[in-house]
Amino acid sequence: MKENILISTGGSGGHVVPAQTLYEHLKDEFNVFLTSDLRGSKFFENNKNFKIINVLPLTQNIFLLPWRVAIFFFSILKSFTYLKSKKIKTIISTGGYMSLPICISAKILNLKVILFEPNLVLGRSNLFFLNYCSSILCYSEEIRNFPIKFKRKIKLISPLLRKSVYLEKKDKNNFEKKIKILIIGGSQGADFFQKNLKETILKLSVKVELEVMHQTNDKNKENLKSFYEKNQIKYELFNFKKNLYKNMNEINFCITRAGASSLAELVQINLPFVAIPFPYAKDNHQYYNALYYKKLNCCWMIEQNSNISKDLFNLIYSFFENKNDLNEKINAMKKITYENSWNNINQKIIDCINEN
């Protein structure tokens, strides 16, 4: 009989994408259940094994705090009942405050807990549960804030990528006078990208034949649409694309935030990119995600500042005069992804679950 396991995830793309990938890795070997908060429910609405266990972050507003605490304890009770009813044996948590009720309930029930940390800075909820987990899946051993006494719990895996991503490597990059740029700012869209990259895009459009594929949110959609149409720049706006990687072969360059999943996909596909970390991310984890790949010579990194439009233009336009740096980045990505495969990662995850 197959073992019942649960994958607990939050509602942002950084949590959902790894959870979906873990589900694909494990669904044939185990009975896999999924839980997320309300934000994440839209990604799993067609999965009959999905359950909403909503968790609200605790607030500094003293008047709302008792209500939020009451909801939190109700979420623990709901999690406890759910784990018992489904006879769950193993929990895999992708982190975030929304995982706390599930992991607390799992500890009470003495269930096996496996954590997942894709970032180069240990998340706070993962830090809280390190003492109680059996292992933690990571992409590197060099994780900031990771207690030395728990290093033995790290199980190294290659980045979790959807199976079809492995088939989407770019054949070549024709970076000529006609280019297509992808701008991605996370599942919520990046306000800074939508307001501060216009100068770069406009200057490039004067120099080259430019097309832009731009991730946006609803509040900035009309403003961006007006900008591109006024300046006669070919464009496509999108909020969320489940299979965005399928567009990568037609993209020449990417401007991106530094979420772990986004960077891993770009590197695996060998698409040149510049990472602009979100400076207000918890514990500045996006900075260290980007720095990791920069040190491997796989990307460029520009910190968010008032000179960003000028810096971006100079970087991208330099490729038309000298492609050596561009080609070095592509070759570095090819080198580190050469041995990455779905089957290798699949076996490591299953071994981790089956380990006593």
Over residues 134-193, the pLDDT tens digits come to 999 999 999 999 999 999 999 999 999 988 888 776 667 777 778 999 999 865 556 788
Over residues 55-76, the pLDDT tens digits come to 877 666 677 778 888 888 999 9
Helix/strand/coil percentages in the chain, nearest 5: 45, 15, 35
Q: How would DSSP label each residue in 328-343? A: HHHHHHHHHHTT--HH
pLDDT, position 239 = 84
pLDDT, position 165 = 85
**Assigned token pair, 108:** 């009470």
Over residues 102-130, the pLDDT tens digits come to 999 999 999 999 999 999 999 988 999 99
Residue 353 pLDDT > 90: yes
**pTM for the structure as a whole:** 0.88
Higher pLDDT: 231 or 43? It is: 231
Give the mean pLDDT of the chain.
90
Cα 306 from chain centre: 26
Residue 333 pLDDT > 90: yes
Residue 329 pLDDT > 70: yes
pLDDT, position 140 = 94
Over residues 258-276, the pLDDT tens digits come to 999 899 999 999 999 999 9
**Assigned token pair, 173:** 């990059």
pLDDT, position 171 = 67
What average pLDDT score do residues 325-353 get?
Answer: 92
Q: How far is it, in rounded angstroms, from Cα 40 to Cα 18? A: 12
Cα 233 from chain centre: 29
Percentage of the residues of the chain whose pLDDT score is greater than 70: 96
pLDDT, position 328 = 95
pLDDT, position 263 = 94
Give the chain's domains with CATH numbers.
Answer: 4-161+341-354 (3.40.50.2000), 165-337 (3.40.50.2000)
Q: How would DSSP label each residue in 70-129? A: HHHHHHHHHHHHHHHHHT--EEEE--SGGGHHHHHHHHHTT-EEEEEE-SSB--HHHHHH
pLDDT, position 86 = 96
pLDDT, position 191 = 78
